[in-house]
Structure 1
Amino acid sequence: MASSFYRVLLLVGFCAPMFCTSSNPYNRESPHPPSMKSNAASQVSPSNTRFAFFLYQRLAQENPGQNLLFSPVSISTSLAMLSLGARSDTKTQILRSLGFNVTHVPEPTIHLGFEHLVRSLNEYHRGRDLRMGSVLFIRKDLQLQAKFLNRVKKLYGTKVFSEDFSNAVTAQSQINSYVEKETKGKVVDVIQDLDSQTAMVLVNHIFFKANWTQPFSAANTNKSFPFLLSKGTTVHVPMMHQTELFGFGVDRELGCSVLQMDYRGDAMAFFILPGKGKMRQLEKGLSARRLRKWSRSLQKRWIKVFIPKFSISASYNLETILPKMGIRDAFNSNADFSGITKTHFLQVSKAAHKAVLDVSEEGTEAAAATTTKLIVRSRDDPSSIIAFKEPFLILLLDKNTESILFLGKVENPRKM
């Protein structure tokens, strides 16, 4: 039976965030972007955040001492979209692993929430370029269920292309070229093992480009500043610095300092610096509740900030990770994707994810949290300094949807 299954290749989260000014020519300006508080996207945001930290903790466990970077919202959206064509336990496992209980949140509400989320993220915001999209490359002889095709187009704005997978080399080249174009050249050759058994490739890509509201001066960047790696060795990195009003607090429960910096265009970043020996404690304590507390409790204050200028990237084969998070049947012969097609048996053979992140002088923005005991140092203290000269976490968030666009750990700013 297993030999009769065709492969589905799930390529998610090809992310290319860069921090520099740009308008978005792909989206029309909306004078009143939808608020997360007032639309159906509020039904999916908490679950997406829980899934983000659940996945982060799994990746951190399996990649100790390495840079981590991924796009939670891209992966969640891809899996939710795939669930449209799943049935029985395959569907249940996907939605449950995404943090949804369909007895409390009906499935139509979940997909309506993602529809609003995708639409909101693609709204035009002056000063930033944020695009997220999905595309299906379908085997020419694969007859799709009309309902599935209509729903992925309507709810997720998915583009659909017919592809000749019998010529795997040509198909691979065409899909790689599409991804490279959509990420403006940041992600290349993402597929390297396409074969003729592939029946469908689902790609979700996200591109982010924005400026800090309080940019650093390149003239002040220290070209060679010591950064202490977790292994105890030191590398020298370009270190940006400035003194400015930023959201800041100390979370004593997790033993970390939290800095909030804002981007133009309703986006923000949290830089989280654990105390000595507290990285594992911080990682284990990450949660949607903790993020809400930070978002409500940080206070603006004058502070001298040192942040390395860096570029990092990371790639993951999620087919080895997602089954450990509960999505098992999608990747084996028990897969039930009869909602996609009834003429072929489908199972997911690969779920690839690649992310790229550049941080430089031009960009940043912020947000904060409450209820946790966050300590803010005296505003009159001229010695308020936070220096990210050891491994730290970074979260990039969209304010309107309260979605984590990118989540990562910088273990070594010199390692691409």
Structure 2
Amino acid sequence: MRKIFLSLLAALLLTGSAVAGTFEESVNNFSLKFLNASYKKKKNILISPYSIYIAFSPVYEGAENNTEKELKRGFLYPEKSVLRKLIKEEIEEKKSDENLKLFNGIYIQKGFKLKGNFLKTVTNFYQPEIKQVDFKNKTERIKTVNLINRDVEKTTKGKIKNLLKPSDVNSLSRLIIVNAIHFKDNWLIPFKKELTENKPFYTLGKTVKVPMMKTSGRFKTFENETVKAISLFYKNCYRMNIFVPKTENFKLTYENYNNVLNKLNFKNVDLEMPKFKLKNRTYLKKPLSKIGIKDVFNMEADLSEMTGKKNLYVQKAIHQTFINVDENGTEAAAATAVVIGLKSILPRPKKLFKIDRPFFFTITDKKGTILFTGYIANPLEE
């Protein structure tokens, strides 16, 4: 029997079924949960949990039974009626944000019918650009892939290119849900380019010379026996939080993250941290399955709220990201796409804060929502 498949292509922890009370709590909980599912000690990681969370929200909207339960537990989504309002508020808020550009798009096969209530809800609360396309014809299918890639590239100012490959979509594809974001802001306390010099960075197993930036000022810091942390403000109230583990078994869990942030205090600091640039494209099925999201990727998936039939599943999940951190500030971008188709089979500083070994980081918005998170094992590896 032919069914409808769904593949997710994209531009980020705590185990449990409790649902956080606010949008930022829910996203942050998922962010760190997903980071830990993806984490490897000797590999750089860059993900945008924010993009993945928003892109999967319409999938959750269309899910029923165990599929819905797994998505709710894995992403720590609130009830659907609550999530709709939170997402809508978030999208409305970001429209006036000059530092963060957000795009949602839905590309639907001409003549393919979705349930009226589902389409109305998604259109109203997620506010996507909706475009009619043709997946059935090979030539038109390639044009659709190019159209989506252009929309993503435009939103991310050229930082995310070729999110979709022609092989990611086929004649059975019927619906693609896309999210893309772009962030750029300058440091509140910039680094002086003339002070940047190659210095040692102690990766796991070897020492490498990396461009180490330097600045001085008042920064919020914290240190205990397991981690040292620092928070760097951007000019427009965004923040980069950096966590440098002091023990091999340190994990950046949701509890650890909040505990450290709550204990940060301003100190006069001489700061040294590496410049780094990183881009990543990864399939999400494996890390999402590690946090309990499994049904939506197989024939047991129940996405009947989309079409009225149990004929949808997630075929692929791809996430693509970019970040560049230098003396002036940070530019970062991410994209996530969901493809649905037919199933078939100041005073003198007194403290030196040196970031010269592997570290975790987050970039948060004005409310503290994690937009990007990652792990730098080696700043030289892009």
TM > 0.5 between the two? yes
Instruction: Look up the equivalent residue of 2:354 and give its one-letter code.
Output: A
Query: In the alignment, which of 77, 83, 87 is matched to residue 110 of structure 1?
Result: 83
Query: In the alignment, which of 49, 53, 57 is matched to residue 72 of structure 1?
Result: 49
Query: In the alignment, which of 359, 369, 378 is matched to residue 403 of structure 1?
Result: 369
Instruction: Look up the equivalent residue of 2:142 and give its one-letter code.
Output: V
Query: Is the counterpart of residue 45 in structure 1 residue 13 in structure 2?
Result: no
Partner of 1:231: 205
- Paired residue secondary structure (2:175): strand
Query: Is the counterpart of residue 96 in structure 1 residue 73 in structure 2?
Result: yes
Query: In the alignment, which of 256, 259, 265 is matched to residue 299 of structure 1?
Result: 265
* TM-aligned CA deviation for residue 363 of structure 1: 2.0
Partner of 2:352: 385
- Paired residue secondary structure (1:238): strand
* TM-aligned CA deviation for residue 344 of structure 1: 8.0
Aligned equivalents of 1:267 and 1:58: distance in 2? 26
Instruction: Look up the equivalent residue of 2:231 and give its one-letter code.
Output: Q
Cα deviation 1:317-364 (Å, max 9, x = unaligned): 112222232222211111122211237822111111011110011127
Instruction: Look up the equivalent residue of 1:145 and give its one-letter code.
Output: K
* TM-aligned CA deviation for residue 8 of structure 1: 2.1
Partner of 1:8: 6
Cα deviation 1:124-175 (Å, max 9, x = unaligned): 2xxx520222111111231112211121122112121111112232222222
Query: In the alignment, which of 221, 228, 231 is matched to residue 257 of structure 1?
Result: 228
- Paired residue secondary structure (2:296): helix
Partner of 2:245: 274
Partner of 2:158: 185
CA distance 1:381–1:186, change in 2 (3 Å): closer
Aligned equivalents of 2:95 and 2:244: distance in 1? 31
- RMSD, aligned CA: 2.2
Instruction: Look up the equivalent residue of 1:300 and give its one-letter code.
Output: F
Contact 2:268 2:350 in 1 (8 A): no
Aligned equivalents of 1:210 and 1:88: distance in 2? 42
CA distance 1:385–1:191, change in 2 (3 Å): same
Contact 2:94 2:101 in 1 (8 A): yes
Query: In the alignment, which of 129, 132, 149 is matched to residue 159 of structure 1?
Result: 129
Partner of 1:369: none
Contact 1:9 1:200 in 2 (8 A): no
1:108-257 equivalence runs, <5 A = 108-124=81-97, 128-166=98-136, 167=138, 168-192=141-165, 193=167, 194-222=169-197, 224-232=198-206, 234-252=207-225, 255-257=226-228
Unmatched 5+ stretches in structure 2: 13-19, 331-345
Aligned equivalents of 2:75 and 2:349: distance in 1? 45
Aligned equivalents of 2:41 and 2:264: distance in 1? 29
Contact 1:43 1:109 in 2 (8 A): no
* TM-aligned CA deviation for residue 382 of structure 1: 5.3
Contact 2:303 2:311 in 1 (8 A): yes
Aligned equivalents of 1:314 and 1:231: distance in 2? 23
Contact 2:303 2:310 in 1 (8 A): no
Structure 1, 339-348 or 204-213: larger mean CA deviation = 339-348
Aligned equivalents of 1:187 and 1:329: distance in 2? 29
* TM-aligned CA deviation for residue 295 of structure 1: 2.6
How many residues are treated as equivalent by the alignment? 355
* Identical positions, percent: 26
Please list every run of at least 4 consecutive aligned residues from structure 1 whose deviation after the TM superposition is greater than 4 angstroms: 379-383
Aligned equivalents of 1:69 and 1:160: distance in 2? 29
Partner of 1:23: none
Aligned equivalents of 2:355 and 2:190: distance in 1? 17
Contact 1:133 1:157 in 2 (8 A): no
Structure 1, 237-246 or 312-321: larger mean CA deviation = 312-321
Instruction: Look up the equivalent residue of 1:211 and give its one-letter code.
Output: N
Contact 2:217 2:349 in 1 (8 A): no
Instruction: Look up the equivalent residue of 2:162 and give its one-letter code.
Output: D
Cα deviation 1:63-85 (Å, max 9, x = unaligned): 44110010111111222221111
Aligned equivalents of 2:217 and 2:145: distance in 1? 48
Contact 2:302 2:310 in 1 (8 A): no
Partner of 2:35: 56
Aligned equivalents of 2:329 and 2:70: distance in 1? 39
Contact 1:11 1:204 in 2 (8 A): no
Q: TM-score scaled by structure 2?
A: 0.87
- Paired residue secondary structure (1:282): coil
Aligned equivalents of 1:344 and 1:196: distance in 2? 20
Unmatched 5+ stretches in structure 1: 16-40, 365-378
Cα deviation 1:79-120 (Å, max 9, x = unaligned): 2221111122211211121124xxxx5431122122222322
Q: TM-score scaled by structure 1?
A: 0.80
